[in-house]
Amino acid sequence: MDQSIHGSPATVAVSDELFAPVGDGIELCYQTFGDPDDDPLLLVMGLGGPMNWWDTELCTMLAERGFYVVRYDNRDTGRSSRGRGRVTRAMLVSAFAGRRVKVPYTLDALSDDAFGLLDHLGLESAHVVGVSMGGMIAQTMAIVQPGRVRSLTSIMSTTGRRTVGWQHPSLFPNLLAKRGTRQDYLDSTVVVWNRIGSPGYPQSEEKVRARAAETWDRGISGSGTLRHMLAVVTQPNRGPRLRALRMPTLVVHGLADKMVHVSGGRATAAAIPGAELLLIDGMGHDLPPDLFDTFASAIRRNADRA
């Protein structure tokens, strides 16, 4: 059943949350905004983030700009299937130190999930936008099957090269902290967001808690987040392969990002021929509502180059 969101200039159709089998026993939960005849736009969220982190208001803005918007839960988030394989904090520390560890899955597998969702929707290709780990997945999609990525937008992400896009050391303990109860999760989210959010575009604690509550209620997987983290920590350097990309590319990064240093965005834009680099003063590692119009307009502009 389709719902609708009333906005300007027209009403945007919104689907219920649906499920797509994408292979390897994985089902992804997804939702669409807009007209299926419009330009398909796939939104890929980051580490541990379900699709509701793509704010409904932003999705509506994108649909109003002529996109058929698809947002979804990666495996191990929200209402999508849980992956397999145990990851310990000791394994993460070892991988972070550069030692080899066995991974349950890689970014390539998460890229395959995204292509499986496009297949389920009957979409031969789409414009692809990814945030943080989602940007890494989007870059991987563009490398593996460039013909299926009409345009690429990589937001607050990096190439996988260890000398760029580093994380501020003070954040690592927060990422590894255990969050036993719903209240623990809400409290820790506020702490983390105070450290990684956009200092130039602050969000109220009430809004951060409300988003955290929605995230918890849709389904949290601590073990799944660890699997995501290991896939990120063990990712390859995509820089040399990014140089072969020819689709229109937009790279967006905040100059106040503590989770993924802006050097990661600069390296991504430098690696992809013709990429546009949009650096935003005061933006951290989030998608502040005050910047929704900026994001939507830039994504539309990049897609129009395809």
202 in Cβ contact with 282 (< 8 Å): no
pLDDT digits (tens, 9 = 90+) for 250-303: 999 999 999 999 999 999 999 999 999 999 999 999 999 999 999 999 999 999
pLDDT at 8: 45
Residue 145 phi, psi dihedral angles, 5° rounding:
-135, 70
DSSP bridge partners of 198:
none
pLDDT at 4: 65
Q: Which amino acid is at 43?
A: L
Note down the domain range covering 87: 2-303
pLDDT digits (tens, 9 = 90+) for 137-146: 999 999 999 9
CATH number at residue 164: 3.40.50.1820
d(CA 223, CA 69): 29
Domain count, the chain: 1
d(CA 88, CA 167): 20
Split at pLDDT 50, 70, 90, the class of 180 is confident
